[in-house]
Structure 1
Amino acid sequence: MKLHDRLVSVLSSVIVVFIACAFVLMGTEKQVRPYIHTPIARAVYERLMKEREFEEIDRDEWYRLNLDAILSEDVRSKFIQMKWDVDTQKFVDQSSEKSSWIGTQLWHALVTFVAGWKASKTSLNGWLNRGSMFVFSESQFLRLTGWKEDHRSDSLLDLGAGDGNVTARFSRFFGEVFVTEVSSVMRKVLVSRGYQLKDVGQWDSEDDPQKYSMISALNLLDRCDAPISLLKQIPKKLAKNGFVLIALVLPLNQYVENNAPTFAPSEIIGVRGRTTEEQVDSLVECVLEPLGYKLKSWTRLPYLCEGDLHQPYYWMHDIVLLLQHESAMIDEA
C-alpha cells in the first residue's frame, strides 16, 4: 500500500468517529448543527448535509426561462425546451460517488496545496483526472441540431476542448475530430483520447486548407482573452453550410485564468441587461448578428462540474446556441 493510501486510511477511520454523532442528529425533524473541532471531519459533515440539500433541488428550474422577457420574437421562437435526462443523471451520480472518496479528495487537496502556486487550475485538473464538465447529453445535442442518430458530418473542431469529456458527447457524429487547448497537460489527455490537435495560434491559418462541418466553442468565450476576435476567426474555417456551436454562462462574468492579477480580458463581450433573458437577447442582437451569425436554435442547460469534498457537484447556467454564418450559408432554394 502506498504511503498516501495508508495515511488516508488512518484519517478516514478518525473521521468516521467524529461523524457518527452527526448522523444521529441528521435524522431529527429539527436539525441541530453540531460543533466539530477537526476541520476534515467538519468538512465531511458539511458535505453530508449538502447531499441532503441537493436532494431537494428543483432541477427543472435549471432549464426554464421567462420567454416573455425576451423581446425578439425570432429569438423566442427558436428556443428548445430541454429537461433532465438519463445521461445527465449518470454524470451527477458518477460525480457524487467520486467526490465522496475521502482518500482521493484529501490527496487532491494536498497536491493542490503543494503545486497550486505554480500550475494553473486547468493543468492540475488534468494531472489529477478531476474537474470534468458536462454541458449536454447526446440526445440533447440531437434535439438542438435536429439531426438523426445516424447523422454523419465530415469534421469537427472543438476549440478549448479541456479533457475532451464534453467533446466525447457529440464527436461520434463526425468523421474527423480536431481540438485546440492551451494547457499542455490537457493536450496530452486529448491526444490519448484519439483527437487530432491543432495549434491554438495556428488553427485558423490560411496555409491550412482544412475547413470544418462544425466549430464549437463551449464555455470558451467568457474565459478567453479576445472573444470577439475569436468570433471573427471562426467563419474563415467553416465549411459550406457548416454550423457553429457556442455555450456561454449567462449572466455573463468574463474571467481569464492566465491574465493575473486582474484576470480581465482584453476584449469585452458587449451584452446588455442583468438577467439571462435580457443578456441572451442582446448577445444575439448586439454581438452575434453584427458579426454575420444567424441563430438556428438555442436552449438553456446546467453546466455541470465534478464535485469535491465540499459538495457532490457544481453547476452554472449555460445558454447553448446553434448558429450558422452568412459567409458559409448556401441558398438551397
Structure 2
Amino acid sequence: MISYVLFILSLNVNLVHSNAWKARMNEVSHIRSPLVRAVYQRLKEDERQRNDDHHYWYSFDRARVSADVCECFIQSHQDAETEQFLSNCYEKADWIFTQLYHSIAKSILSWFMTSTSINGLLQRGSMFVFSDEQLRQLLQIGVGWEGQNMLDLGAGDGRVTEKMAKYFRQVYATEVSSTMVWRLQQKNYKILGLDEWDNGSVSFDLISCLNLLDRCNKPMTILHSMKRVLTTGVGKAIVAVVLPFKPYVEQDSTDHVPEENLLIQGQGFEEQVQFFIKKVFEPAGFVVEKFSRLPYLCEGDLHQSFYALDDAVFVIKPNS
C-alpha cells in the first residue's frame, strides 16, 4: 500500500492525465488508502466536469417570477474566462505535494486562525464570481468605460476586485481578516476601516458587496450605509448573494447567527430572488437594474478541483 502512495506522489502534472496513470489507477482503485482514493475519485469527477457546459448554473425559470422581475434578468453562460478559471482549478488540484501541504497547514492553523485568513496566508481558495464580459453586461458599460472610484466590501484576496478595478481610477476596499488586508495592500488598494467607509468622507461610483450579506452581522445596516455613500445620480452597487440564503457569521458572534436576520422566503432560486428584490432591496431604498444567475466558484483541494454555489448577482441603484 505504501508503495502505491509513493508512486502517486512522485508523479508530475503531465503524467497525471496520461493513459499510464489511468491504467495504474484502475489497478489500485480497490486500495483503502484515503489519499489514493481521494485522488482517484477527483480525477474521475474532473473528467465528467470537463465535458459539461454547466448550463444548470445559469438556468432561470422566468415563469416563477413576476413580469417586472423578468425584465431585469440577463441570461448568462459558461464563457471562455469561466472555462479558463476551471482549467486553472484542474491544474492546481493536480499539484499533489502542494495540496498535501495546504491540508496539513490548514489543520494546524485552524486552531488560531479563521478559514479566510488561512486561505489568504496560503494563497489558496481564490474565488470567481463573474467574467469581465458578464460584469460589463450587468453594469451596462463598454470596454473603455471609466469611473471615478469604487469600494469593494469584504474584498478577500482581491482577485475578484481586480475584475472591477480596471474600470475605476481609485479602488478602496474593506476586509476583516488582517491577512487578507496584507494581500490587498500588495495590490495597492486603499484600505478603509469597518467604521470608516460609510462616514461620508468619500462617495463611490460603485460599491461591490459580493457574497457578504449572508456572512455579516447587520446586512440591512450595510445596505442603508451603501445607499448613503453612493455618488448622487451615478452611484450603483453590485450585490451577490448565495441562494438558498443561509446566513452564518464567522466573526463577532458566539452562535454565528446575525443580529439582523433577513428571513428570506421562497422555495427555489427564482422565488428567493423575487423576495430579495421586493422585500429587501426595495424597502432599503433601491431599485434593481439588472441581475443574473452565476456560479460562485472557488478553487478546490485534493478532493475536488473546484467548489460551486448558486449566486444571484444584482446591480442596484438608489430609488431617488
Q: So what's the TM-score if we normalise by structure 1?
A: 0.88
| Residue matched to 1:237 | 229
Paired residue type of 1:110 = I
Counterpart CA distance in 2 for 1:198 and 1:246 is: 19
| Residue matched to 1:3 | none
Q: Deviations over 1:71-113 (max 9, x none)?
A: x211111101111111111111111111210000000011111
3-state DSSP of counterpart to 2:130: coil
Counterpart CA distance in 1 for 2:269 and 2:197 is: 32
Paired residues of 1:270 and 1:286 also in contact (CA < 8 A): no
- 1:14 deviates by 5.3
Query: Is residue 30 of structure 2 the alignment partner of residue 35 of structure 1?
Result: yes
* Aligned with residue 308 of structure 1, among 295, 301, 307: 301
Distance 1:22 1:86, change over 3 A: closer
| Residue matched to 2:153 | 159
Q: Deviations over 1:260-310 (max 9, x none)?
A: 653221111232112011111111101110111011111010110001100
Query: Is residue 72 of structure 2 the alignment partner of residue 78 of structure 1?
Result: yes
3-state DSSP of counterpart to 2:46: helix
* Aligned with residue 248 of structure 1, among 241, 247, 257: 241
Paired residues of 2:207 and 2:237 also in contact (CA < 8 A): yes
| Residue matched to 1:143 | 137
3-state DSSP of counterpart to 2:270: helix
Paired residue type of 2:134 = Q
Paired residue type of 2:223 = L
Distance 1:242 1:44, change over 3 A: same
Paired residue type of 2:242 = V
Counterpart CA distance in 1 for 2:243 and 2:9 is: 39
Counterpart CA distance in 2 for 1:221 and 1:285 is: 16
Query: Is residue 182 of structure 2 the alignment partner of residue 188 of structure 1?
Result: yes
Equivalences, count: 310
* Aligned with residue 318 of structure 1, among 294, 311, 315: 311
Query: Is residue 218 of structure 2 the alignment partner of residue 226 of structure 1?
Result: yes
| Residue matched to 2:112 | 118
3-state DSSP of counterpart to 2:235: strand
- 1:255 deviates by 1.1
| Residue matched to 1:46 | 41
Bigger shift: residues 123-132 or 110-119:
110-119
| Residue matched to 2:196 | 202
- Runs of 4+ residues deviating >6 angstroms: 19-22
Q: Deviations over 1:237-271 (max 9, x none)?
A: 11012101100011111111125653221111232
Counterpart CA distance in 2 for 1:164 and 1:326 is: 29
Paired residue type of 1:66 = D
| Residue matched to 1:7 | none
| Residue matched to 1:288 | 281
Query: Is residue 273 of structure 2 the alignment partner of residue 274 of structure 1?
Result: no
3-state DSSP of counterpart to 1:166: helix
Counterpart CA distance in 1 for 2:274 and 2:21 is: 48
Paired residues of 2:157 and 2:180 also in contact (CA < 8 A): yes
3-state DSSP of counterpart to 1:248: strand
Distance 1:16 1:37, change over 3 A: farther
| Residue matched to 1:59 | 54
Paired residues of 1:293 and 1:326 also in contact (CA < 8 A): yes
* Aligned with residue 69 of structure 1, among 52, 58, 64: 64
Counterpart CA distance in 2 for 1:13 and 1:22 is: 10
Counterpart CA distance in 2 for 1:26 and 1:275 is: 40
Paired residue type of 1:191 = Q
Counterpart CA distance in 2 for 1:295 and 1:261 is: 34
- Percent identity (aligned): 37
- 1:34 deviates by 3.2
Counterpart CA distance in 2 for 1:216 and 1:62 is: 22
3-state DSSP of counterpart to 2:74: coil
Cα RMSD for the two superposed structures:
2.2
